Amino acid sequence: MKSTLPLQSQISLITGASSGIGEQFAIQLAQLGSDLILAARRVDRLETLANTLRAQYGVSVTCIPCDLSTPQAAKVLFATATEEGRKITFLVNNAGLGRYGSFIDFPYADHHSTLQVNMLAPTELTYLFVKHMLDHGKKSYLIQVASIAAFQPVGFFSIYSATKGYLRYFSETLAFELRKTPIRVMCLCPGGTYTEFFEHSGQKITRSGAATMMSAQQVVQMSLDALWKGKTVFVPGLLNKLACFLPRLIPRELALDLAFITMNRAVERVSLLPASPASPLNANNHSSDK
Ligand SMILES: NC(=O)c1ccc[n+]([C@@H]2O[C@H](COP(=O)([O-])OP(=O)(O)OC[C@H]3O[C@@H](n4cnc5c(N)ncnc54)[C@H](OP(=O)(O)O)[C@@H]3O)[C@@H](O)[C@H]2O)c1
């Protein structure tokens, strides 16, 4: 007898599927039988992943090259994804980036890109796909990938924390607004996860940071379990849960100090950008002040 997988004949769209957490979503949704649409800038990596998933799981995979830092990208991605009457039933707004360092040390264009990719693109994709899902009326899922920084802002990660906080508020309210529709919304808030994120953010994981890291495979598996259980906000891992809960019990200024100390223990800044004189992240700060 032929067995049916839970997401057979469904189509899932994953942004940022070329590495890390997005790539794991692609693998695990394919294992559940879903056809896939994968979006990112590095289309060569998407194609390699697509070939593996087609061969291993027999799913159909479409790759769409897409730079979400450009203002038209969300509209174009939506139009391409829904071509030929395709009905998307699972959207993972996963693409994201961060820049670790003092706000004023980065060119403003970097902040603009982060705002566009982490906040504006997922908002517009959510708008377009929620309407699309309501129109086709099938049971659908939407995951927004935020971070534990959505619970506790971290100094020298100001724009990143702010965008993730936005995603959490947005997801919680959207889940409430859509609770009587066939669409389930969940905000995934991972803590440190082994991916390429750190190479791009200008961070190097220290030995003590490594002790608290999770794998992308674990994060995605736990988050899909949480989604099936109907969670609206999900933080994978006990230490991460504590990191999100404890700051509620102490004054916000103290929480900011502790978040900065914890982050400084977990990662070193490796960016080549010059740090501002005021930045405690600048390793040469003290000697140059003398
Ligand atoms: N790793 C962690 O510790 C951690 C913790 C909490 C939350 N997160 C969140 O998890 C999500 C996935 O990150 P990751 O850890 O898996 O890091 P990653 O391996 O660096 O993956 C980031 C993905 O985002 C895509 N992306 C970046 N800029 C893009 C752009 N302009 N247009 C389209 N796609 C773009 C990248 O694809 P291309 O470069 O090919 O375009 C890549 O596929 C992010 O939202 C991140 O904030 C990560």
Tell me the best of 13, 15, 19 to mutate to test the pocket of ligand 1, counting ligand atoms within 8 Å of each CB and taking the most.
19
Q: Which of 100, 160, 169, 194 is catalytic?
A: 160
Q: If you measure from the C-alpha of residue 68 to the centroid of ligand 1, how many angstroms do you get, rounded to a whole number?
A: 11
DSSP string, 48-110: HHHHHHHHHH---EEEEE--TTSTTHHHHHHHHHTGGG----EEEE-------S-GGGS-HHH
Planar angle of CA 271, 275, 278, nearest 5 degrees: 145
* CA separation for the pair 154, 170 (Å, rounded): 20
- Known active-site residue 160: yes
Superfamily assignment of 11-272 in CATH? NAD(P)-binding Rossmann-like Domain (3.40.50.720)
> Residue of the nearest CA to atom 36 in ligand 1?
16
> Residue of the nearest CA to atom 2 in ligand 1?
193
How remote is the C-alpha of 273 from its chain's centroid? Answer: 24
Q: Is any atom of ligand 1 closer than 6 Å to the C-beta of 40?
A: yes
Planar angle of CA 173, 180, 120, nearest 5 degrees: 35
Average pLDDT per consecutive 10 residues, the chain (290 residues; last block may be shorter): 84 98 98 98 98 98 98 98 97 97 95 98 98 98 98 95 98 98 98 95 92 96 98 97 94 94 91 56 40
> CB count, 10 Å around CB of 161?
22
pLDDT at 2: 54
Atom from ligand 1 closest to the CA of residue 160: 47
* CA separation for the pair 286, 290 (Å, rounded): 7
* CA separation for the pair 15, 209 (Å, rounded): 27
* Measured CA distances, 175 to 12, 49, 163 (Å): 19, 31, 18
Amino acid at 279: S
Structural contact between residues 100 and 202, judged by C-beta atoms closer than 8 angstroms: yes
Amino acid at 127: Y
Tokens linked to 157: 């990660």
Tell me the best of 48, 148, 193 to mutate to test the pocket of ligand 1, counting ligand atoms within 8 Å of each CB and taking the most.
193
Residue 265 contacts by C-beta under 8 Å, 6 or more apart in sequence? 206, 208, 209
pTM above 0.75, yes or no: yes
Instruction: Give CA torsion, residues 48, 78, 220, 110, to 10 deg.
Output: 90
Half-sphere exposure of 220 (CA within 13 A, CB side): 23
Q: If you measure from the C-alpha of residue 194 to the centroid of ligand 1, how many angstroms do you get, rounded to a whole number?
A: 11
pLDDT at 40: 98
pLDDT at 287: 33
Q: Is any atom of ligand 1 closer than 6 Å to the C-beta of 41?
A: yes
Tokens linked to 139: 């049971």
* CA separation for the pair 72, 117 (Å, rounded): 12
Residue 183 contacts by C-beta under 8 Å, 6 or more apart in sequence? 130, 133, 134, 140, 141, 142
Atom from ligand 1 closest to the CA of residue 68: 32
